[in-house]
Amino acid sequence: MNIDRKNLHRRIYFIGLVLLVVSLPFSLFLLSLSMFILGLNWIAEGNLKNKALLIYSRKSILFLVSIYLVHLLGLIFTTNFEYARHDLKIKLPLLILPVIIGTSDELKLTEIKTLFHFFVAAVTTSTLISFVVYLNQHPLQIIDQRDISLFYIAYPVFITCCNEHFYNALYGAIPVF
């Protein structure tokens, strides 16, 4: 099976996106790893000069990147640089993802649907696991309602204990559109 360089990068890009959408409700580490894979693949793919020109020609990429730049400009007015550094690190995907996704080849409709299916499966699995923990079917000690979620993201807590179904509906409704 002979795969040319462009198809290899395309597959790595898609696998990185799958890892990204699956890790959203589960793991901060996998989320960071997926962005690292996407970034490394984007650089290894080459053609950086054309990608840079594409960034400046697409207003949507510039708009999304400017959101991060506004936070960067906010450093002028801060006195708590430790929190500012942490905040910029947390918001780094606002800079990285629009550039990588906006300058990569467009996804086919079947690939987009596949990403949505993976996302819905991950959200459903995460919610079910948190619900089982909430029902005390898991051998964990729940001292506080926030201990229900075994994952870094706290949206299952909103679903199971706070009657805030908005977060689950938002995660679940995204693939419908």
Q: How many domains does the chain have?
A: 1
Residue 80 lies in a domain: yes
Residue 77 lies in a domain: yes
Q: What is the pLDDT of residues 89-117, one digit of tens each?
A: 888 888 899 999 999 999 999 999 999 99
Range of the domain at 83: 49-103
Cα dihedral 67, 60, 21, 71 in deg (nearest 10): -10
Q: What is the pLDDT of residues 111-170, one digit of tens each?
A: 999 999 999 898 888 878 877 777 765 555 666 655 566 665 554 444 444 444 555 566
Residue 61 lies in a domain: yes
pTM, rounded to two decimals:
0.78
Residue 119 lies in a domain: no
Residue 97 lies in a domain: yes
Q: In which element (H, E) is residue 7 found? A: helix 5-23
Q: Given 3-state DSSP classes, what are the helix, strand and coil percentages for the chain, each rounded to the nearest 5?
A: 75, 0, 25
Residue 1 lies in a domain: no
Residue 87 lies in a domain: yes
Contact, 150 vs 26, CB < 8 A? Answer: no
Residue 168 lies in a domain: no
